[in-house]
Amino acid sequence: MTKSSPLFTPTSVAGHHAPQFTETFRAENRARFKRPIIVAGKYDLARANWVLEKGYADLVAFGRPFVANPDLPRRLAEGLSLSPFFADTLFGGDQHGYTDYPAWPADRLVNDVAIPSARSLAEPQLAG
């Protein structure tokens, strides 16, 4: 059993551990370490933005969410829902649950509004 400390609390979700560090620990770590800091472990968009805005990290790594969402940057940027991650299929058997998660269809509606693809946003709009 892992003990808690004043700096972090161990947590577990479906057997996957990721410590929850205190803000004091994060601030002290940043004060001592001036190089880039990369954090990972059960981050969602809100938590990632928080740690970046506070300056406690320079980059946030997304592992399991990327497995379940091969288009994770698009989903986060456009506020699209995330596919659920199935931990029991990650490291065993066949491709099921590891390489068969679908990307969000480019023409799928979000809240009854067509979301343009990244390509169409990058294309110049001709006045006409």
- Give CA–CA dist 128/126, Å, rounded: 6
| Contact indicator for 29, 55 with CB cutoff of 8 Å | no
Name the amino acid, one letter, at 31.
A
DSSP state of 64: H
Domain boundaries, the chain: 33-122
State yes or no: pLDDT of 7 exceeds 50: no
Q: What is the pTM of this model?
A: 0.62
In this structure, what token pair is assigned to residue 115? 């979301």
| Contact indicator for 38, 53 with CB cutoff of 8 Å | no
CA-nearest of 80, 77, 84 to 113 is 80
In this structure, what token pair is assigned to residue 121? 């946003």
- Give CA–CA dist 32/79, Å, rounded: 35
pLDDT tens across 20-74, in order?
788 999 999 999 999 999 999 888 899 999 999 999 999 999 988 888 898 999 9
- Give CA–CA dist 69/84, Å, rounded: 8
Name the amino acid, one letter, at 75.
R
What band does 17 get if pLDDT is binned at 50, 70 and 90? low
